[in-house]
Amino acid sequence: MSATTEAPSTVAPGSPELFSERLKAATWSDHQAAEDHGFTRALLDGTLPLSGYTEMVAQHYFAYAALEDVGRRLAGDPVAGRFHYPELERLPALVRDLEHLLGADWRERISPSRATRTYAARIEQMVDHPAGYVAHHYTRYMGDVSGGQFIRRVAAKAYGLSDEAGVAFYVFDALGSLPRFRTGYRERLDSLALDEAAAARLVAETRLAYQLNTEVFADLGRTHAPAA
Ligand code: HEM
C-alpha cells in the first residue's frame, strides 16, 4: 500500500484496503494469541476461580488508570484527541467492581504485577507519541466492546455477578448500540491522515499492546490457575 503524493493517506486511491481493515488483519494473529491464552480460555469456559477473575479486574484497574490519564492529557491532540470518548471511561466501573469483589478496602488489597507495570509504563510513554496512544486505545476498548461482551456474560453466570457491580467494566450503556459504535470507531481510524511510516508504526504499537496484554494474562495464569 502506498501513500498518494498530494495528501498523506493510508489508503491509495481505488485501494480496497481501509486502515481499519489493515490494522485488524495485521494484528489478528496477536489477538488470537491473547484470546487463546490458557488464562483467557479458562475465563471463557467458566473454570477460572473467582480469585483469578478478581485479580484480572485489579490488573485492569492499573492499566486503565494509565490509559485514561494519558487519554485526558492528549484530549487536545489532533490525532489522539479524536479518540477521546469520555463515555468509554472504565475507571468508575472498575472501582464499583472492585468494591463489590474485595470490599471497601479494595485499594489496599491490590497492587500491579510486574507485567502490568511494564504495560502501564508503555502506555504512559505515549504522552509523547499520540498516534501510538491510539494503538493502545484501540486494543483495549475495541476489545472490550467486542469479545469483552462474551466475558461479561460468562463471568456474570459463573460468579453470580451483576451489571451494577462485578461485571460493570463490560457495560457500555452510554454508547448505545455497540455495533454502531464499532462502525464509527473504524471510520475514525480510516480518517486518520497517516503516511505509510506512521501507519506502520501504529500497527507495530498495536502488536506490542497485544503482547503486553498477553504478558499480563500469562502472569495471572501463573498465580491463578484454573480450578481442577
Ligand atoms: C474483536 C473475541 C480477547 C482485542 C473481537 C471480536 C471478537 C472477539 C468476536 C470481533 C471480531 C470481528 O469484528 O469480526 C474475543 C474473545 C476474547 C478476546 C472471545 C477472549 C477473551 C481479546 C483481548 C484483546 C482483544 C484479550 C486485547 C487485549 C480485540 C480488538 C478487537 C477485537 C482490538 C477489534 C478488532 C477490529 O475489529 O479491528 N474479539 N476477543 N480481544 N478484540 Fe477480541
Of 23, 28, 35, the one to substitute when testing ligand 1's pocket (max ligand atoms within 8 A of C-beta) is 35
Give first-to-last CA distance, the chain, whole Å.
49
Of 20, 22, 31, 182, the one to substitute when testing ligand 1's pocket (max ligand atoms within 8 A of C-beta) is 31
Q: pLDDT value at position 193? A: 85
Query: Degrees (nearest 5) of the Cα angle 56, 60, 63?
Result: 140
What is the rounded CA–CA span in Å between residue 67 and residue 120? 8
HSE-CB for 72 with a 13 A CA cutoff: 9
Q: pLDDT value at position 23? A: 98
Beta carbon of 35 within 6 Å of any ligand 1 atom: yes
Query: Degrees (nearest 5) of the Cα angle 194, 86, 68?
Result: 75
Beta carbon of 89 within 6 Å of any ligand 1 atom: no
Interface confidence (ipTM) of the complex = 0.92
Mean pLDDT split into 10-residue runs, the chain, 228 residues:
39 66 97 93 94 98 98 97 96 98 98 98 98 98 97 97 96 97 98 94 98 97 72
Nearest atom within ligand 1 for CA of residue 209: 28
Q: pLDDT value at position 227? A: 53
Q: pLDDT value at position 225? A: 65
So where are the chain's domains?
A: 27-223
Nearest atom within ligand 1 for CA of residue 206: 33
Give the number of other CB atoms < 10 A from CB of residue 166.
24
CATH 1.10.8.60, domain 27-223, yes or no: no
Q: pLDDT value at position 18? A: 96
What is the rounded CA–CA span in Å between residue 7 and residue 83? 22
